[in-house]
Structure formats: structure tokens, C-alpha cells
Amino acid sequence: MGKVRIEMVKRISRELVNRYDRSLTTDFEQNKQFLKEIGLDVSKKLRNKIAGYVTGLMKIEATAEF
């Protein structure tokens, strides 16, 4: 079974993927740094959860392209 995430994390992550698709990657650390650069004003814990969910979404997109 997968991890349960709050709806806010999912909503913010989907919006970020739609806006910044070219800047996000399948690497968690790069995504975390990118969120810091764009000035996402959330706690460290929430930023990490969002970066992790974005990373998962980008991996799904990468496998769907092939």
C-alpha cells in the first residue's frame, strides 16, 4: 500500500508540476532546492513532503512517455 498524503500536498504538487514542468526532475534533492528557490513559503517538513510527491509524479510522467 502507498503512503497517505494530505490533500494540500497533492494539490500544491499538481499545481507545481503544471506550472514548472520543465524545471522539476525525478531527483528529490533538486526538487527540494527548486522549491526553496521559487520561494514556496511553507515549513521544512511540508516542503519535503511536497518535493517527495512531486518527485513521484515526475517519475510517473517519465515512465508514461516511453
- Calculate what percentage of the chain has a pLDDT beyond 70: 97
Instruction: State the pLDDT confidence band at 1, using cuts at 50, 70 and 90.
Output: low
**Average per-residue pLDDT in the chain?**
93
CA distances from 45 to 3, 18, 21, 41, 42 (A): 16, 22, 22, 12, 8
- C-alpha 22/C-alpha 42 separation (Å) is 22
Average the pLDDT over 18-46 and give the result: 95
Is residue 52 predicted with pLDDT exceeding 90? Answer: yes
Burial class (CB in 10 A: 0-12, 13-18, 19+), 10: middle
Q: Is the pLDDT reported for residue 38 higher than 90?
A: yes
Do 32 and 64 form a contact (C-beta atoms < 8 A)? Answer: no
